[in-house]
Amino acid sequence: MRFREIPKTELAVSEICLGGNVFGWSADEGQSIAVLNAFSEAGGNFLDTADVYSEWKEGNRGGESETIIGKWLTTKNRADFVIATKVAKLSTRAGLGGENIISACNDSLRRLGTDYIDIYYSHHFDEAVPVEETLAAYQQLIQQGKVRYIAASQHSSKQLRLAKQVAIENNLPQYIALQNEYNLIERATYETDSVPVLNDLGIGSFPFFGLARGYLTGKYRGGQQVTSVRANGVAGYQTPENEALLARIEKVASDHSVSMASVSLQWLRSQPTVIAPIASARTIEQLHELVESVDLDARELAFLTAV
């Protein structure tokens, strides 16, 4: 596993970030811990979760993913891992109000079984709360040692620039990264809106849905029906244009004897603003595809980008 430094931090992370959104949802506790062990054994150190994962599953309350990761961490050296979680979307801890952020952070720390969070995200922009109030709450958590760095998820360039301006004017913490959707299919918004502001601010990104909800693994080719909780989410991807893209990914993957997932993630890592894409795995077999290493040359990258 190769590592990359996160600009404006002292953190170095594995070039793949393991998404925890499936833990406690499509992967039960046993499956989740097996995947976490396999990721660690492969050299991975970067985990992404959120307090809202996976409130949407019947019978869940939210925080299930954090709880599973916390249980797993009891068998590991906490300092060996970079843990990122988020606040704002859990129904019982909604929004980016100052008091809510403090309470939500304490809840996450308890579930994760740790006394600090490496990267704490604003899970979306909150129009109802002054940015100064949000950043001031983060400042308090940083001063208390409960949070090391803050970042933004699902923020536009306008919202990121506003946060930077407010931080400078009030001597408050600044976001050190962005987590927005980006993959070989969903490119337009990221490349036209996110890339310019990331370059201007000198920060990088950790794209989510790096495999387009699993579509870029090739398992949904030709309209094939797959038993998965995410199957409905890929229906809109099944177009002739995207089938042509999959054919190109398959060609490159075949040339290197690796999975289509590996090629799709390497394309992301090759984009200048991307530090490490986020991808999740329900099984050890899926995890192995995510952590495969492959180097693509300029011709192969252009071959994929052209579609």
pLDDT of residue 234: 86
For the chain, the first-to-last Cα distance in angstroms comes to 29
Mean pLDDT of 63-80: 98
For 162-215, how does the pLDDT look when each residue is reduced to its tens digit (9 = 90+)?
999 999 999 999 999 999 999 999 999 999 999 999 999 999 999 999 999 999
Question: Does the structure show a pLDDT above 80 at 224?
Answer: no
Q: What is the pLDDT of residue 32?
A: 98
* Centroid of chain to Cα 19: 6
With a cut of 70, say whether residue 239 has pLDDT above it: yes
Q: What pLDDT does 242 receive?
A: 96
- What is the pairing mode between strands 12-14 and 3-5? antiparallel
**Is residue 228's pLDDT more than 90?**
no
Residue 296 has pLDDT above 90, yes or no: yes
Indicate if the pLDDT at residue 34 is higher than 90: yes
Residue 233: pLDDT over 80: no
Q: Which of 79, 41, 83, 84 is nearest to 291 (CA)?
A: 41
State yes or no: pLDDT of 307 exceeds 90: no
The answer on pLDDT for 75 being more than 80 is yes
Cα separation, 169 vs 43, in Å, equals: 40
52 pLDDT band, cuts 50/70/90, is: very high
Q: What is the mean pLDDT of the chain?
A: 96
pLDDT tier at 221 (50, 70, 90 boundaries)?
A: confident
| Helices (H), ranges, the chain | 29-41, 64-73, 98-112, 131-143, 157-170, 188-189, 195-201, 240-256, 260-269, 284-291, 298-305
Query: How does pLDDT run across 118-137, given as a tens digit for each residue?
Result: 999 999 999 999 999 999 99
d(CA 258, CA 221): 17
Local confidence band at 229 (pLDDT 50, 70, 90 cut-offs)? low
Q: Which residues are marked as active site?
A: 53
pLDDT greater than 70 at residue 71: yes
Q: What is residue 108's predicted lDDT score, i.e. its pLDDT? A: 98
176: enclosing H helix or E strand: strand 175-179
What percentage of the chain carries pLDDT values higher than 90?
93
Q: Mind listing the domains of the chain with CATH numbers?
A: 3-212+271-294 (3.20.20.100)
Q: What is the pLDDT of residue 166?
A: 98
